[in-house]
Every structure is written in structure tokens, then in C-alpha cells.
Amino acid sequence: MDFELDDEQVELQRVVRDIATRECPPALVRAVVAGDDDAAGLWKTLVELDWPALTVPADDGGMGMSAVELVIALEELGRVADPTPFLATTSQYVPLVRACAPAGARRELLGAVCSGGTGTAAFAADAVRARRDGDGWVLAGVARHVVDGDRADELAVVASTGDGEGVFVVPAAAVEATRTPTFDAAFHLADLTLDEVRVGDERAFARPAVAAEVGRARDEAVAGLAAEMVGASQRILELVLEHVKERKQFGVPIGSFQAVKHMAVDMYVAIERARALCHFAGLAIAEDDTRRGLAASMAKAAAGDCQRLVTRHGVQLFGGLGFTWENDLQIYVRRAKVGEPLLGTSSEHRARAARRVLAGRRPTEAV
């Protein structure tokens, strides 16, 4: 396997990092948390750069890039604790619409993203039912913990149709959304109540093959969220390294102590492990490899392991200084951890990865 970013991908990584670092400093995240900024300015900048349309097909007006470029960009935005609806729009809404909508609807819905529209996905087949009603569908149920569910323009709801799954794109106004509190106030989560919401056929994608397409989109969402967690973890390591090189005790930098070094190395290894699996997931999705689902689960499991160790060691290595609101560490600790329970916890994804591998090893009579 040729597992190195190519020159264009390295350049994309550099550009996104530079711009994200400049446009989304800790002060902006703090202002958003304090309610003094709604991140609209940052979103406008991202739209001007065409980044929300990163994986929108070129024919639909987007940049036509793959899931590899998407995880690269999302890692950099996680690194700055991006407070915009970028994650949900690019890794949840766009993949679902791209995979499931027929050409006409796709062009219309993704065209809106190219001009600044936002979206998200509710993977809620277990909680939302869609029933056929005349020449359309009616949705009922409650989808919980939907990323940006309270502020996205369009909600792509994965609902059960009775004989399978369907994707129904619902405008925000048709749904009652309640933002749910999280410890990362710059990250939006909402519960969506769909009370007999009517969806016309032009926004309902429920042909039999759609379940497989939903799986594909879900893998991309999982990998995207994992990449964001890795990015936030990376920022924590950078802050910790800076701190332990400068902070002196007993006349020497604390980074010269082996106890400190070994914790820092474990943080680094956890990040490298998770990042490699995020890139692999992006690649498996981009090439529609048979290991796509396994790869996405491994990425999320590893990102979960990564955030757990990196946030714990990160706060510990900062000592008292990391135990303050004033220190920027807390911003990225929150972002690294907020993704853990979403779209499957790391232990759920570990079990999923284990089952996929064990399934191939079951004695034939048990299959």
C-alpha cells in the first residue's frame, strides 16, 4: 500500500492548517462559548474558500475531492475547535445526499451547500418512522443528539420505512429542534422532534438499494468525526509540549523528567495510531474498498482511545495551570471528548471491528 499523502494533499493540509489557525484562534472559540459571537463570520470565510463543498462532485458545483481530503481538512478544523456547522455539513449531510439522492435532487441540494447552505444528518432509523401517504411520506419520531440539528438549514433524516430505510431531506422549519447542553458549548447538538412531518417524493430517497448507500455515508460521517477528535488531540499535545519545555521546576524544564517524557510519547503514539486509521478510512471510503466499514470503525475506536489518553495526560501534565478556565487547554479537551459518545462509542466500534473480523473466522456450520 502506498500510504503517504501526495503533494496536493500535503498542500491542502498546510493551507487548511494555516487558515484555520489564523481565522479560528482560541479567542473566537471563547467568544462563541460566551455567546458574543455566532461563528457566522468564520463560516462565511470557509464558504468563500469553497471548503464546505470539498466533496461535492464537480458536476454539482463542488470541489470534487475524496474522503481522504475530507479527513485531512476535518483534522485541521478539529485542531482549532471549529465552532461552525462544517463537520455536520461536510461529513454527514453531503455524503448522505451525494450517495442517496438522484441527480436532479442532488444537484439542487448540494448546490445550496456550495453557496453557503448548511445541513446535517440524523441516523435515526431506530427512532423515526416514515410511512407512505399519497404521493409523499410522513415522518414521526424523535432523533436524539443530532450534530448541528438546531442550526442546520437542511436535515437529512435516515428513517425506517417498514421494509427498509429511507433518507428524507427536511427543512429546519418543519422540525422542532431543541439544543441539548454539552460541556463543549462551541459544539451544537440537538434533539429533533418530527411530528407528522410531510416530505414530498422529490426529497425522499427510499429505493431498495438506499440502505447500502446510507451505510457508505455513515462510514464517512464516522471517519469525519474521528478526524476531528484527532485534530483536537493533536492541539493538546502541541500545547503540552510547549508547556513542558518551558515550565521549570527544580531548576530544569519538567520535560526533561522521564515520567513526563513517557506520558508525552504515549500521547504521540495514540495520535499517530488514530490519525493513520482516519487516513485509511478516508482511503477505503474513497476507493469503496471492502474494508470500508471496518476502517471507519477502527478510526472511531482509535480516536476514542486517543482522546481518552491525550486529554487525561494533557490535563495532568499541565498541573495546576491546566486546571484553569484561562488556559486554552480546556477548549481542546472539550472538543476532543465531545465526539466520543456520538455515532457509536469507541467500545461499540471496537466490538464492531472485532465482529467483522471474527465473522470471517466462524466455523462454516455456525454461519
Partner 1 sequence: MRLRFDEQTEAFRHEFAVWLDAHAPDDATALSERPRSTAHVPDWARDWQRSLFDAGWLVPGNPPEHGGRNASLLEVFVHQEELSRRHIYPSYNPQGLTIIAPSLLAFGTEEQKRRWAVPILRAEITAALGMSEPDAGSDLAGLRTRAVLDGDRFVVNGQKVWTSGAHDADIILAFVRTDPDAPKHKGLSCLVIPTDSPGLTRRPFGSIVGPDDLDFNEVFFDDVAVPAGNLIGELHQGWQVATGSLGHERAMLWLGFASRLDDLVRHGGDEIVARGLADDPLVLDWFGNLVVDAHALRLLGYRTLAKARRGVEATEQSILKLFGSEAAQAATLAMLETLGADGLDPDRRSAPLDPLHEEGFTASWWERYLRSFAGTIAGGTSQIQRNIIAERVLGLPR
What is the spatial distance between Cα 257 and Cα 281, in angstroms, rounded to a whole number?
36
Q: Find the shortest distance in angstroms from Cβ 351 to partner 1.
A: 4
Sequence letter at residue 243: H
The span from the CA of 291 to the CA of 294, in Å, is 5
Q: Is the CB of 146 or the CB of 353 nearer to partner 1?
A: 353
In 3D, which of 206, 216, 211 has the Cα closest to residue 290? 216
Residue with cell 419520531: 141
Contact at 8 Å (CB) between 174 and 197?
yes
**CA–CA gap between residue 207 and residue 100 (Å, rounded):** 9
- Residue 343 CB, shortest distance to partner 1, in Å, is 16
The nearer residue to partner 1, 212 or 269, going by C-beta atoms, is: 269
Least separation in angstroms between CB 230 and partner 1: 12
Q: Write down the least CB distance from residue 339 to partner 1, Å.
A: 17
SS3 (DSSP) at 30: helix
What is the closest distance, in whole angstroms, from the C-beta atom of residue 357 to partner 1 in the complex? 5
What is the distance, to the nearest Å, from the Cα of residue 129 to the centroid of all Cα atoms in its chain? 25
Complex with partner 1: residue 35 or 290, whichever CB lies closer: 290
Q: How many CA atoms lie within 13 A of 233 on its CB side?
A: 33
**What angle in degrees, to the nearest 10, is found between the helix axes of 67-79 and 210-246?**
40
Our CB check for partner 1 shows the closer of 9 and 180 to be: 9
Q: Which lies closer to partner 1 via its Cβ, residue 207 or residue 262? A: 262
List contacts with partner 1 (CB under 8 A): 1-6, 9, 68, 241, 244-245, 252-253, 255-256, 258, 260-262, 264-266, 268-269, 272-274, 276-277, 279-280, 283-284, 287, 289, 294-295, 298, 301-302, 305, 347, 349-355, 357-358, 361-363, 366
Taking the complex as a whole, the smallest distance from the CB of residue 276 to partner 1 amounts, in Å, to 4
Least distance to partner 1, CB of residue 123, Å: 21
CB 332 within 8 A of CB 239: yes
Which residue carries 470471517 as its cell? 360
Which pairs from 323-328 meet CB under 8 Å and 24+ separation? Answer: 328/26, 328/239
Q: Which is nearer to partner 1, 30 or 216 (CB)?
A: 216
Q: Which CB atom, from 131 or from 248, has the smaller least distance to partner 1?
A: 248
**CA 78 to CA 75: how far, in whole Å?**
5
344 φψ region: left (φ > 0), alpha (ψ -120 to 50), beta (else): left
Please, which residues have CB within 8 angstroms of residue 3's CB and are 6 or more apart in sequence? 276, 279, 280, 283
The whole-angstrom separation of Cα 302 and Cα 280 is 12
Of the pair 256, 316, the CB lying nearest partner 1 is at 256
Q: In angstroms, give the least distance from the CB of 24 to partner 1.
A: 25
- Closest distance of CB 81 from partner 1, Å: 22
- Which of 153, 154, 145, 155 shows the shortest CA–CA distance to 182? 145
Backbone angles phi, psi at 235, to 5 degrees: -65, -40
Nearer to partner 1, 10 or 27 (CB): 10
